[in-house]
Every structure is written in C-alpha cells, then in structure tokens.
Chain A
Amino acid sequence: MVLVFFAYFALASIAAGVLTVALKHPVHCGLALLALLVHVSGLFILLNAEFLWAVQVIVYAGAILVLYLFVLMLLNLKTDDRYFHSSYLYFLVPAAFGSLCVLALLIRSPFGGAKGDATTVAILQDGDTHAVGIKMFSEYLLQFEIVGVFLLGAVIGAIVLAKTPKPVSRERKA
C-alpha cells in the first residue's frame, strides 16, 4: 500500500516538475508548481514528517506560490514565442545523459550510515511536531535565530527594492 502511494506521489511530482519547466504560459507553470508542492508534501507524509507536511502546504503552497502568482498577475506578462533559450538542445542532451548516469549510480548504492536516536517509535510517541520542536530549540537554536535575522533582512530588502522611487523635486534640482 505504501508502495502504491509512493509510486503515485513520485510519478506525479516528477510529471509536475517537468510541466513546471516545460509549459508555455507562466500562470500554467505556477499551477504545475502547486501540484509539485502538494505531491512533495505527500512524500513527506510517507516519511513520517507531518510537521514538514503542514509547513510545506502552509508556507510553500499558501504563501510563496501566492506571492509568485501575485507578481505574475501584477506584471501582466506576455508570453514569448521563443520561450526556451535558443540553444536548449545543447543542454537537453547532456542533461538526459547525465541524469541516466546519476540514476544508475543512485539505484545501486546501499546508503548505509550511522543511525541517530530518533527512531520511528520514539517519534510517534509524542508526535513529529514535538520531536522537531525539542530538537530545534535545543541543538539548533543558533540556526533558528540566524534564519530569523535572515528573514528580517529579506523583508527589509524586498521593501526597499519594490518601493516606488520618489520623483525628484524641481526646486532641489535648480
């Protein structure tokens, strides 16, 4: 059963990713990106990461994608006839070849490693959100604060960039 869900979410997210890159109209690309984000959040559910699932749906699909759609609607972009780069075939063929090589290597790898202490049973005891919170506010507190300062800087930068520039007054010019 898990295998069926995994196959669905994986194939749908890959198809949505390809559509995001390949569709012509920017709004259609945004909708394909929405499909990709929702299916990736389904993969998070399969991996016992319910908190990330909620964050993915709320922050990514709810906030970031709406920001993209706002800017798309605001700018009223016209679609170009040549919407791919002129020499895209030179990228496409090496990319297909390289991805096949990488996939062959990845499928064969065993991916062993040192295991941590967050077993599935331990996580399910209090829920994933509890486990994430305990870890974030103990070991990762500094990174959490840095991300907070980063977001503040991003907000200020976005406001400064997008502000309408003041018209230069004539008295000062003269």
Chain B
Amino acid sequence: MVPLSAYVAVSAVLFITGLLGVLIRRNFIIVLMSVEVMLNAANINLVAFSHYLESMAGQLVALFIIAIAAGEAAIGLAIIIVVFRGRISTNVDEMNLLKW
C-alpha cells in the first residue's frame, strides 16, 4: 500500500518544478506549459486525498480544474497569437507594454 504522503510528495515536487518554470523560462508558451504542470500537480493531490479520505469531492474538483485548464490554454494561446501578430517576440521580458 502506497502511503498518502508519497503522492503528496510527488505532487509537491511537480508543483515546485512548474513554479520554477514559470519564474525562469523566457518563452511565453513554455511559461503556459509550466502552468499546466502546476495544475497537474494539484490534480494529483486532489485525487490522492479523495481516494484516501474516501470522498468524491476531490475527483470532482480535479475535473473542474481540467475544464478551467482548457479555458486558460485557449485564452493564453489567443493572447500569444495577438502578441506575435504585433511583431513582438514571445519572450516574456519584451512584453512590457502594459507595464507602467
């Protein structure tokens, strides 16, 4: 029997990897991919607790998270297309028009 803390540890490592990706990568698309890594880590956590605490709530919230990840990917990639059409590169450091 795998202990619950093993699942939580895997999820924590994945989450920190994704957070690090958001902080250190410069390509906007890979920043979005790192956000997906973080959302997957949260899903592992929710499903593991749902299994070990014998409640369905975690699985349902994980399902909603997947739906919201789909929306986030659609909007984020549309923003990338708009930014790229304006001849700005997808480097996050060069997108500073909204910065005051």
CB–CB A147/B64 < 8 A: yes
Residues 64-100 of chain B, each 1 if its beta carbon lies under 8 Å from chain A, else 0: 1011111111110111111010000011010000000
Q: What CA separation (Å) do A83 and B89 show in the bound complex?
A: 13
Q: Assuming the A-B contacts A55-B66, A111-B8, are A21 and B29 also in contact, with contact meaning beta carbons closer than 8 angstroms in the complex?
A: no
What is the minimal beta-carbon distance from B72 to any residue of chain A, in angstroms?
8
Residues 1-40 of chain A, each 1 if its beta carbon lies under 8 Å from chain B, else 0: 0110010001001100110110000100110010011001
Count of B interface residues, CB-CB < 8 Å:
69
Picked from A47, A64, A67, A92, the residue with its CB within 8 Å of the CB of B20 is A92
Task: Determine the chain B residues whose CB is within 8 A of the CB of A63 once the complex forms.
Answer: 70
- Which residues of B does A touch, CB under 8 Å? 1-2, 4-10, 12-14, 16-21, 23-27, 29-30, 32-34, 36-37, 40, 43-44, 47-57, 59-60, 62-64, 66-75, 77-82, 84, 90-91, 93
Q: What CA separation (Å) do A29 and B30 show in the bound complex?
A: 7
Task: Determine the chain A residues whose CB is within 8 A of the CB of B63 once the complex forms.
Answer: 51-52, 55, 132, 136
Residues 132-153 of chain A, each 1 if its beta carbon lies under 8 Å from chain B, else 0: 1001100010010001001101
Q: Assuming the A-B contacts A85-B25, A118-B56, are A158 and B78 also in contact, with contact meaning beta carbons closer than 8 angstroms in the complex?
A: yes
What is the minimal beta-carbon distance from B68 to any residue of chain A, in angstroms?
7
